[in-house]
Amino acid sequence: MPELLSDSLTGLLVPALVSALVPLALTLKVALTATAGACALGVGAGYALSRRGLPGRDFLDAVCTLPLVLPPTVIGYYLLVLFGRRGVLGQWLQQTFGVSLVFTWQGAALAACVVAFPLVCKGARTAFEGVDQNLEHAARSLGAGECSVFVRVSLPLAWRGVLSGAMLALARAMGEFGATLMLAGNLPGRTQTLSLAIYDAAQAGRDNEAMFLVVLTSGVCVLLLLASGKFLKLSPTT
Amino acid sequence: MRTTMRTTMRTTMRTTMRTNMRTNMRPFRFALASLALTLLFSALPAAPAQAEDIIVSAAASLTNALNAVKQSFEAGHPGVTVVTNYGASGALLKQMESGAPVDVFASADQQTMDQAAEKGLIAAGTRRDFVRNSVVLVVPADSRLGIASAKDLGLPKVARISLGNPETVPAGRYAKEFLESTGQWSQLTPKYILGNNVRQVLDYVTRGEVDAAFVFSTDAQQAGAKVRVVQTADGKTPALYPVAIIAASRKPGAKAFVDYLTGAEAQRILGAFGFKKP
ipTM computed for the complex: 0.73
Q: Give a yes or no: residue A92 inside a domain.
A: yes
Quick one: pLDDT at residue B49?
42
Q: Give a yes or no: residue A33 inside a domain.
A: yes
Same domain (yes/no): B190, B248: no
Same domain (yes/no): B197, B60: no
Q: Give a yes or no: residue B157 inside a domain.
A: yes
Q: Give a yes or no: residue A121 inside a domain.
A: yes
Quick one: pLDDT at residue A121?
96
| Beta-strand pair B239-245/B104-106 | antiparallel
Flag whether pLDDT at B1 surpasses 50. no
Q: Give a yes or no: residue A179 inside a domain.
A: yes
Quick one: pLDDT at residue A204?
79
Same domain (yes/no): B124, B259: yes
pLDDT tens-place string over residues B144-172: 999 999 999 999 999 999 999 999 999 99
Average of per-residue pLDDT values in chain B:
87
Q: Give a yes or no: residue A81 inside a domain.
A: yes
Which uninterrupted H or E stretch holds B138? Answer: strand B135-140
pLDDT tens-place string over residues B181-229: 999 999 999 999 999 999 999 999 999 999 999 999 999 999 999 999 9
SS3 label, residue B132: strand
Its domain, for residue B163, covers: 135-232
Q: At what angle do helices B198-206 and B170-181 cross, to 10 degrees?
A: 70
Same domain (yes/no): B170, B212: yes
| Domains of chain B: total | 2
Q: Give a yes or no: residue A237 inside a domain.
A: no
Q: Rounded mean pLDDT of B110-129?
A: 95
Quick one: pLDDT at residue B26?
61
Cα-to-chain-centroid distance, residue A154: 24
SS3 label, residue B185: coil
Same domain (yes/no): B144, B260: no
Instruction: Look at A17 and B130; give whichever has higher pLDDT.
Output: B130
Q: Which of residues 117-176 of B touch A (CB under 8 A)?
A: 160, 165, 167-168
Q: Give a yes or no: residue A199 inside a domain.
A: no
Where chain A has pLDDT below 70, the residues are: 1-12, 234-238
The phi, psi pair for B214, rounded to 5°, reads -105, 115
3-state secondary structure string, chain A?
CHHHHHHHHHHHHHHHHHHHHHHHHHHHHHHHHHHHHHHHHHHHHHHHHHCCCCCCHHHHHHHHHHHHHCCHHHHHHHHHHHHCCCCHHHHHHHHHHCCCCCCCHHHHHHHHHHHHHHHHHHHHHHHHHCCCHHHHHHHHHCCCCHHHHHHHHHHHHHHHHHHHHHHHHHHHHHCCCHHHHHHHCCCCCCCCCHHHHHHHHHHCCCHHHHHHHHHHHHHHHHHHHHHHHHHHHHCCCC
pTM for the model stands at: 0.78
Sign of CA dihedral B42, B44, B46, B52: negative
| Beta-strand pair B212-216/B135-140 | antiparallel
Task: Report the CATH number at residue A150.
Answer: 1.10.3720.10
| Domains of chain A: total | 1
Same domain (yes/no): B224, B144: yes
Task: Report the CATH number at residue B165.
Answer: 3.40.190.10
The phi, psi pair for B230, rounded to 5°, reads -90, -50
| Count of pairs with CB atoms under 8 A, one residue in A, one in B | 45
Same domain (yes/no): B112, B147: no
Q: Tell me if A225 sits within 8 A of A171, measured CB to CB.
A: yes
Contact: A202, B94; criterion CB under 8 Å = yes
Q: Give a yes or no: residue B256 inside a domain.
A: yes
Q: What separation in angstroms does the CA of B57 have from each of A124, A197, B105, B119, B238? A: 47, 24, 5, 17, 21
Contact: B207, A84; criterion CB under 8 Å = yes
**Alpha carbons A84 and B140: distance in angstroms, whole number:** 14
Same domain (yes/no): B150, B207: yes
Quick one: pLDDT at residue B187?
95
Q: Give a yes or no: residue B268 inside a domain.
A: yes
Same domain (yes/no): B186, B67: no
Q: What separation in angstroms does the CA of A127 have from each of A53, A67, B96? A: 17, 20, 49
Instruction: Look at B30 and A172; give whichever has higher pLDDT.
Output: A172
Q: Give a yes or no: residue B105 inside a domain.
A: yes
> Which residues are B161's β-sheet partners?
B192, B212
Q: Give a yes or no: residue B264 inside a domain.
A: yes
Q: Give a yes or no: residue B31 inside a domain.
A: no
Contact: B207, A204; criterion CB under 8 Å = no
> Which residues are B227's β-sheet partners?
B140
Flag whether pLDDT at B13 surpasses 60. no
Quick one: pLDDT at residue B40?
60
Name chain A contacts of B204, Cβ cutoff 8 Å.
185
Same domain (yes/no): B99, B186: no
- Please check whether residue B207 touches A, CB under 8 A: yes
Same domain (yes/no): B252, B215: no
Flag whether pLDDT at B135 surpasses 80. yes
Name chain B contacts of A102, Cβ cutoff 8 Å.
209
Domain end: B215, B232, B249, which one?
B232
Its domain, for residue A98, covers: 29-193
Q: Give a yes or no: residue A15 inside a domain.
A: no
With CA atoms as reference, report the closest residue to B125 among B207, B24, B10, B245.
B245
Q: Which of residues 72-91 of B touch A (CB under 8 A)?
A: 88, 90-91
Q: Give a yes or no: residue B123 inside a domain.
A: yes
Same domain (yes/no): B86, B220: no
- The C-alpha of B89 sits at a distance from chain A's nearest C-alpha, in angstroms, of 10
